[in-house]
Amino acid sequence: MLAVLMPGKQPQFGKVRPRERGEGFRIDVRPYGWIGTLAGSPMSRELAEELLKSIRVEIARGKPPLDAVAPYLSIRAKPNLVTERYADWLAVKRQQVEAGERSPRTVQEYERYARPSGEVEWWEGRGIQEVDFALLEDWDLWMADQGKSAKTRRNVLGAFRSFLGWLRKRKAIQSVPEFPAPRVPEHQPKIITLAEQEAVLAEIPEDERGPYLVAVFMGLRPGEIRALTFGDVLLDQDPPILVVSKAMKGLGADAPIAGTKTGYARRLPIAPEVVRWLRTHLPESIPDAAAPLFTNPRTGKRWRHWVLREIWVGAAGRAGVDVGLYEGTKHAFATAALHRTGNERAVQEYLGHRDPRSTRRYAKLADEALADVVRPRTVH
């Protein structure tokens, strides 16, 4: 059990001690180690005391002790090792998952990279201050020699860049180096026509069609749709508005709900097809504003991701259309919207893309789908 210390009675962090061998002094900062020199030179008692005082001030201002002492430790001291700090970063990510601020699947991928024989093991024994483009390139080539695809390498490097960005924000490193960029063949999403979308929708039972109408006619992500509540629907406004401010951070019906992928809310005009369905199916007496807008009629709970996907795939099969949920809804909507409006910025804001490159990739469209943009929709 931890001892309860009275205010003003806490022991001071660290202690200056004489060196066991040779002249000068060093600073005992265990459990993090010892600071034996400053910039490679032995320290006098006065210099050691001054440095320790500076470290204590940083800690008193809220800096974690590890981050306060790490710059003065050997670059390969345990607190400065890449693998040790990566583990610290994962602990932060797990806390974010518990708070509903991060998708569990993303953190599971980060954890997989750090498993024994995982990609991060290559950094064993190396310090965070040693990370530069040359080492990153060597790591990338090593992963390629291990048979990792360009896409996998890009994902691992992206996670590592995020890790280094966290270290920079904590001032454990000065900057994030340039990263190698494995060339990944650009994936061209399969885009289906409006007629094909409508054929799939017709195969979905009317009482289950609501979330799919939002996906097809408004381009929301499945996680955003599953998180919608009655309070997000403003049908009495002109035009009616849907507030998209959150998303489910997991695949289950009880997954945590937090902010959207980009972290900011969007107020979107509701597509006429969605308005008609809502006016028909919403109860006359609206329940709690926090109650889920769309629920699985068979369970009464929020939709699970895989159930939504299975219903779409089944409907697509019956309609003779070979396309997945994401490509048949969000991808098709985004492509049509970009070519219909020609306004990349507006489409980017509507879809909630942080990076405009995510919007630009929809500019490539098959001739048939491009022609179909100008065809009128049929109404269900």
Q: Is there a domain that residue 189 lies in?
A: no
When mean pLDDT is compared across 200-204, 274-278, 349-353, the lowest value belongs to 349-353
What whole-number distance in Å separates Cα of residue 64 and Cα of residue 371?
Answer: 59
Is there a single domain that holds both residue 95 and residue 69?
Answer: no
- Look at residue 380 in the predicted model and tell me its pLDDT: 46
Last residue within a domain, chosen from 135, 169, 203 = 169
The per-residue pLDDT of the chain, averaged, comes to 84
Is there a single domain that holds both residue 202 and residue 58?
Answer: no
When mean pLDDT is compared across 55-64, 180-189, 248-257, the lowest value belongs to 180-189
User: Any idea what the CATH number is for the domain that residue 294 is in?
Assistant: 1.10.443.10
What whole-number distance in Å separates Cα of residue 167 and Cα of residue 185?
Answer: 31
- Look at residue 359 in the predicted model and tell me its pLDDT: 55
C-alpha dihedral (367, 370, 371, 375), degrees to nearest 10: 150
* Number of neighbouring beta carbons within 10 Å of residue 138: 12
Q: Is there a domain that residue 132 lies in?
A: yes
Is there a single domain that holds both residue 255 and residue 273?
Answer: yes
* Res 180 pLDDT > 90: yes
Mean pLDDT computed over 111-134: 94
Q: Is there a domain that residue 181 lies in?
A: no
Last residue within a domain, chosen from 73, 95, 117 = 73
Is there a single domain that holds both residue 360 and residue 244?
Answer: yes
- Look at residue 367 in the predicted model and tell me its pLDDT: 37
Is there a single domain that holds both residue 153 and residue 203?
Answer: no
Is there a single domain that holds both residue 268 and residue 204?
Answer: yes
pLDDT of 133-168, one tens digit each?
A: 999 999 999 999 999 999 999 999 999 999 999 999
Q: Is there a domain that residue 135 lies in?
A: yes
Residue 43 DSSP SS3 = strand
What whole-number distance in Å separates Cα of residue 53 and Cα of residue 45?
Answer: 12
- Look at residue 39 in the predicted model and tell me its pLDDT: 77
Nearest-CA neighbor of 126 among 103, 255, 134?
134
Mean pLDDT computed over 250-258: 86
- Look at residue 62 in the predicted model and tell me its pLDDT: 86
* Res 257 pLDDT > 70: yes
Count of structural domains within the chain: 3
Last residue within a domain, chosen from 73, 91, 116 = 73
What are the CA-CA distances from residue 162 to residues 139, 155, 177 (Å)?
A: 16, 11, 12
* Res 131 pLDDT > 80: yes
Q: Is there a domain that residue 27 lies in?
A: yes
Q: Is there a domain that residue 377 lies in?
A: no
pLDDT of 267-320, one tens digit each?
A: 889 999 999 999 999 887 777 899 999 999 999 999 999 999 999 999 999 999
Residues β-bridged to residue 35: 27
Is there a single domain that holds both residue 269 and residue 318?
Answer: yes
When mean pLDDT is compared across 67-71, 249-253, 347-351, the lowest value belongs to 347-351
The amino acid sitting at 333 is F
Is there a single domain that holds both residue 219 and residue 365?
Answer: yes
Res. 110 pLDDT band, cuts 50 70 90: very high
> Does residue 233 contact residue 278 with C-beta atoms inside 8 Å?
yes
* Res 172 pLDDT > 70: yes
Q: Is there a domain that residue 35 lies in?
A: yes
Nearest-CA neighbor of 365 among 201, 185, 194?
194
Tell me the pairing of strands 25-28 and 241-244.
unpaired
Q: Is there a domain that residue 2 lies in?
A: no
Is there a single domain that holds both residue 157 and residue 116?
Answer: yes
What are the CA-CA distances from residue 20 to residues 25, 34, 42 (Å)?
A: 9, 12, 13
What whole-number distance in Å separates Cα of residue 345 and Cα of residue 88?
Answer: 38
Q: Which of 7-16, 92-101, 161-170, 334-343 has the highest mean pLDDT?
A: 161-170
Is there a single domain that holds both residue 289 and residue 240?
Answer: yes
Name the residue range of residue 58's domain: 15-73
Is there a single domain that holds both residue 285 and residue 344?
Answer: yes
Is there a single domain that holds both residue 68 and residue 116?
Answer: no
Predicted TM-score of the model (pTM):
0.61
- Look at residue 368 in the predicted model and tell me its pLDDT: 42
**Exposure of 100 by Cβ count < 10 A (0-12 exposed, 13-18 middle, 19+ buried)?**
middle
Residues 6+ apart with CB under 8 A from 176: 161, 164, 165, 168
